Amino acid sequence: MEQLSPGLLLKGSPAAEPGRSPGATLGVSVGSRYPPLEYIFIATVFDRQGWFQALQHRLKTTPYQDRLVEQIIKKNLPVLGANIHSYEQQIRSAFRRRDRVSLNHRTAACLASYFDILFAANRRFNPGEKRLLVHVQALLSKPEGVTADVEAACTGACNLECCVAEHLELMRARLERFLSARGLL
């Protein structure tokens, strides 16, 4: 449990995890000047002055800015596969090296950017790393076959028989069609 201020006690706080600070981390779309987005989903155990409940309410009701959506897509979409240093290219290199650890690591990073784009396109805060597919299924709009695609990418992440980059390329194409249909590309 974490105590942010006198009279406030949180259960399941991201900062309560060993070795993790409450500031910005890799894979999070919004920088450190904002409270960690995980705070939206934390259950309050004790909040004497209602400060944390007010913060949660403000995070839940603040409109998601168009500029933020554009910046998240602009930042994350090219690294999925549109440039020479993209995740797809890094995964292909790891596959050629037969490096399972690197395959898994780069696939996870690719999926993190994919989810950042998907939640931004729906004007929703990224809920973090846990139960992402449950949150994706609750979105009003999403690319076709997103759940099966993510499960296939996770299954293929360490496969040395078939390179998962081919499937990630298909996922990126579906994501780009999804974004184009919504006028976000």
**Residues 57-102: tens digit of each pLDDT:** 887 788 888 999 999 999 999 999 978 899 999 999 999 999 999 9
Cβ contacts of 27-33, under 8 Å, gap ≥ 24: 27/109, 27/112, 27/113, 27/116, 27/129, 28/126, 29/68, 29/72, 29/75, 29/76, 29/116, 29/119, 29/120, 29/126, 30/68, 30/125
Beta bridge partners of 61: none
180/57: higher pLDDT: 180
pLDDT in tens, 127-172: 888 889 999 999 999 999 999 999 999 999 999 999 999 999 999 9
Domain positions in the chain: 8-61, 66-181
Please tell me the distance from the alpha carbon of residue 24 to that of residue 22, in angstroms, as a whole number: 7
Please tell me the distance from the alpha carbon of residue 69 to that of residue 76, in angstroms, as a whole number: 11
Please tell me the distance from the alpha carbon of residue 55 to that of residue 40, in angstroms, as a whole number: 8
Place of tokens 């060993």: 18
Please tell me the distance from the alpha carbon of residue 39 to that of residue 89, in angstroms, as a whole number: 34
Q: Is the model's pTM score more than 0.95?
A: no
pLDDT band at 119 (very low <50, low <70, confident <90, very high): very high
